[in-house]
Amino acid sequence: MPSRPVTSDESGPATGVDAIVGLLRRTGSIEEPNEDIGGLTLLHHGLQCAAHLRRSHPEDRELQLAGLLHDVGHALAPGHDEIHGVVGGAFVRPVLGERVAALIEAHVPAKRYLVTVDESYRGRLSTGSIRTLASQGETMTAAEVAAFRASPHAEAAVQLRLADEASKDPAADAPDLTAWLPTLMSVAG
């Protein structure tokens, strides 16, 4: 299902929780662009990822929201896999803060990092994740690995990346968007 063009009020940073929720609702009609998995929308993928992180990291609401929102950049900049994390992070930063934005930005470098340091990780990637890895830079250099590890968000970004890859089942149950509204409001608050 093709995504519609971004409107001028969506191309800049979010102005509040309503703007974020509006974009999330729109992602409910956009199929995950790089996966060969019929019926998996960006929203359902994000809801699965957030639920996974809620189970594995119940006290880390910011990580959970990063899971919910990690792929909104696909809706904001369709066809630009290499920058979707940066675009999504920039969109949410004014409302949800630096850590949520940094985690969204880091989920692509975390994939590159894991492929570089764990020989078995590439084999666990979906077909779509393997395909986009090429445009995202493939493996990291030693300097990139060191810089990633030095980030204060490295460990959480790896957890987000692992949850991202584990959240691609169009038939999986996940709480709906309304279940996340209190968390969105409390982190934005």
Task: Give the pLDDT mean for 109-130.
Answer: 86
How many whole angstroms separate alpha carbon 92 and alpha carbon 119? 33
Q: What is the pLDDT of residue 132?
A: 76
Angle at 112 between CA 64 and CA 159, to 5 degrees: 25
SS3 of residue 152 by DSSP: coil
In percent, how much of the chain has pLDDT > 70? 90
Global model pTM greater than 0.95? no
Residue 129 tokens read as 């994740």
pLDDT at 163 over 70: yes
pLDDT at 79 over 90: no
Split at pLDDT 50, 70, 90, the class of 24 is: very high
Task: Give the pLDDT mean for 77-90.
Answer: 90
Q: What is the pLDDT of residue 37?
A: 64
Residue 186 tokens read as 């409390």
Split at pLDDT 50, 70, 90, the class of 6 is: very low
Q: What is the pLDDT of residue 36?
A: 59
Q: Look up the CATH superfamily of 12-184.
A: Hypothetical protein af1432 (1.10.3210.10)
SS3 of residue 87 by DSSP: helix
Task: Give the pLDDT mean for 101-114.
Answer: 94
Q: Select from 142, 177, 164 the least CA-distant residue to 34.
A: 164
Higher model confidence: residue 16 or residue 10?
A: 16
With beta carbons less than 8 A apart as the criterion, state whether 34 and 81 touch: yes
pLDDT at 35 over 60: yes
pLDDT at 168 over 70: yes
Task: Give the pLDDT mean for 79-95.
Answer: 92
Q: Select from 18, 63, 24, 61 the least CA-distant residue to 46.
A: 24
Query: What is the b/e burial string over 25-44, where b = at least 16 CB atoms within 10 angstroms of the residue's CB?
Result: ebbeebbbbbbeeeebbbbb
Structure-derived torsion over alpha carbons of residues 124, 24, 50, 156, reported in degrees to the nearest 10:
80
